[in-house]
Amino acid sequence: MKILVVGSGGREHAITWRLAQDAEKHELWCAPGNAGMAEIAKCLPLKADDVAGLTAWCKENAPDLVVVGPEAPLCAGLVDSLESAGIKAFGPVAAGARMEGSKRFAKEIMQAAGVPTGKAEVFTDAAEAKAALPAYGLPVVIKADGLAAGKGVIVAETVEQAEAAIDDMLVGNKFGSAGAEVLIEEFLHGEECSILALVDGENAVLLPSSQDHKRIFDGDKGPNTGGMGAYSPAPVVTGHMLPEIKEKIILPVVRELKKRGITYRGVLYAGLMVTPEGGKMALSGSNVNVVEFNARFGDPETEAVLPRLDGDFAAMLMNVATGCLKESDVVVKPEAAATVIISSGGYPGDYEKGKVISGLAEAAKIQGATVFHCGTKSVDGAVVTDGGRVLSVTGIGGTLRDAVDTAYRAVAAISFEKAFYRRDIAHRAFERN
């Protein structure tokens, strides 16, 4: 098949890499890609959110399938535009991508579909929002409705923090139109996990569970990031939970969207909070609650989940895009996987770019390790850093411990000035034993 992958991060490198593992040799293209993707695909000088440019390229070059990685082009209607041009695409249309693009919309769908989630209300008036706070107790979660680059969620420990967050969004306009509506949401206790569900408009097949590490420092300390590591499977998700997640969370959402005329195809990513010991949250009444939905593969979860998939990946994606996904399309390897992100020193604050990366070839020789590029580019034959998250290093192994050890062996082979990584990836899984 001729396949275009849209995006330039670790997630898109992992998608492209996994397509390159298929028995059939595909013709692979990326837009815009990165230095790692350039080794296995042809890169186009088109930005991921250039809907018109990407549609024009596809009309001329007729790929069999376009796989859209990030949320911005999905929310901007890239899949709608490609479908109008007769091009098959993996990813939801813009109306479906609102499950990620509007927290208010996602909450409305969950409430209408009876999906367990924290109780929440929407406000546009700061005084009314503040008056509602006492009913939620503390901590309480304040969320901007729209896409705010991961910064629009404040977990407030005090009433003062909650009121300040409400004022920032509704009075100070801190997030622009994304913060013109705010949600006040019940705080959910427990352990988070990620479930990536493939959805073909009607049916869903769940990919193996995973867990992300959002904070910058070991022990889950410091500011939030785009994700500093991941592993799969996540033992917090026990076997009996998966069918329930499909029946009580994923499928009701897909049906509710369908009822509203939205055919959802692509990944529906459920960020879930699992509350331990059968404890049910007082307001929502369930012990597995949805924290958020995303309309795409997770990053870095994808770098840990895709290396665990066997079988024909392109066919799997195509069956999603054309509405004929089967349970047998998803074949999971028994091995575990762990991914360690190497970031630029200073991230998620200010950081420098353009540092020469060494040791990539040595890392790639380590059995069971794969290095995905997140923020890199080639300059005069050298690979240099070009973002906050730079590399996503995955190890697979017979046990999670083996997978983690392999990933860290590969990380140790790589160096660049001010490189930083967490040393405790998968700690929650190990703490259970």
Instruction: Identify what 187 binds: ligand AMP, ligand GLY, none; CB under 5 to 8 Å per kind.
Output: ligand AMP
| Tokens 């990944």 belong to residue | 267
Q: Which CB atom, from 36 or from 118, has the smaller least distance to ligand AMP? A: 118
Q: Is the peptide bond before 73 cis (omega within 30 degrees of 0)?
A: no
Binding mask 376-415 for ligand GLY (x = CB under 6 A): ----------------------------------------
Longest dimension (CA), the chain: 60
| Tokens 């590029």 belong to residue | 373
Q: Which CB atom, from 7 or from 298, has the smaller least distance to ligand GLY? A: 298
Q: Which CB atom, from 117 or from 376, has the smaller least distance to ligand AMP? A: 117
Task: Identify whether the C-beta of residue 372 lies closer than 8 Å to the C-beta of residue 340.
Answer: no
**What's the closest the beta carbon of residue 343 comes to ligand GLY, in angstroms?**
14
Task: Identify whether the C-beta of residue 256 lies closer than 8 Å to the C-beta of residue 82.
Answer: no
Task: Identify whether the C-beta of residue 338 lies closer than 8 Å to the C-beta of residue 229.
Answer: yes
Which helix (H) or strand (E) segment is 291 a member of?
strand 288-294
Q: Which of 426, 421, 366 is nearest to 391 (CA)?
A: 421
By CB under 6 A, the residues from 227 to 286 that bind ligand GLY are 227
Residues 70, 76, 80, 82, Cα dihedral to 10°: -60
Q: Is the peptide bond before 300 cis (omega within 30 degrees of 0)?
A: yes
Q: Which CB atom, from 73 or from 227, has the smaller least distance to ligand GLY? A: 227
Q: Give the residue at shortest CB distance from ligand AMP.
A: 292
Task: Identify whether the C-beta of residue 34 lies closer than 8 Å to the C-beta of residue 373.
Answer: yes
**Binding-site ranges for ligand AMP (CB under 6 A):** 118, 141, 153, 155, 185-188, 192, 214, 271, 291-292
Residue by residue, DSSP assigns 313-342 as HHHHHHHHHTT---GGG-EE-S-EEEEEEE
Q: Which CB atom, from 153 or from 180, has the smaller least distance to ligand AMP? A: 153
Count of chain residues binding ligand GLY (CB under 6 A): 6
First CA to last CA distance, the chain: 44
Instruction: Identify what 395 binds: ligand GLY, ligand AMP, none; CB under 5 to 8 Å per kind.
Output: none
Instruction: Identify what 141 binds: ligand GLY, ligand AMP, none; CB under 5 to 8 Å per kind.
Output: ligand AMP
Instruction: Identify what 294 binds: ligand AMP, ligand GLY, none; CB under 5 to 8 Å per kind.
Output: ligand GLY
**What's the closest the beta carbon of residue 346 comes to ligand AMP, in angstroms?**
22
Instruction: Identify what 196 binds: ligand GLY, ligand AMP, none; CB under 5 to 8 Å per kind.
Output: none
Q: Which CB atom, from 77 or from 271, has the smaller least distance to ligand AMP? A: 271
In whole angstroms, give the CA distance from residue 261 to residue 96.
Answer: 10
Q: Where are the alpha helices (DSSP H) in 23-144?
A: 51-61, 71-75, 78-84, 94-101, 103-113, 126-132
CB atoms within 10 A of CB 330: 18
**What's the closest the beta carbon of residue 192 comes to ligand AMP, in angstroms?**
6
Q: Which CB atom, from 80 or from 292, has the smaller least distance to ligand AMP? A: 292
Site membership for ligand GLY, residue 212 (CB under 6 A): yes
**What's the closest the beta carbon of residue 227 comes to ligand GLY, in angstroms?**
4
By CB under 6 A, the residues from 293 to 322 that bind ligand GLY are 294, 298-299, 301
In whole angstroms, give the CA distance from residue 242 to residue 209.
Answer: 9
Q: Give the residue at shortest CB distance from ligand GLY.
A: 298
Cβ within 8 Å of residue 201, ≥6 positions away: 254, 258, 263, 264, 265, 323
**What's the closest the beta carbon of residue 56 comes to ligand AMP, in angstroms?**
33
Residue type, 337: A
Instruction: Identify what 227 binds: ligand GLY, ligand AMP, none; CB under 5 to 8 Å per kind.
Output: ligand GLY
Instruction: Identify what 71 binds: ligand GLY, ligand AMP, none; CB under 5 to 8 Å per kind.
Output: none
Instruction: Identify what 118 binds: ligand GLY, ligand AMP, none; CB under 5 to 8 Å per kind.
Output: ligand AMP
Number of helices (H) and strands (E) in the chain: give both, helices first. 15, 25
Binding site for ligand GLY (CB under 6 A): 212, 227, 294, 298-299, 301
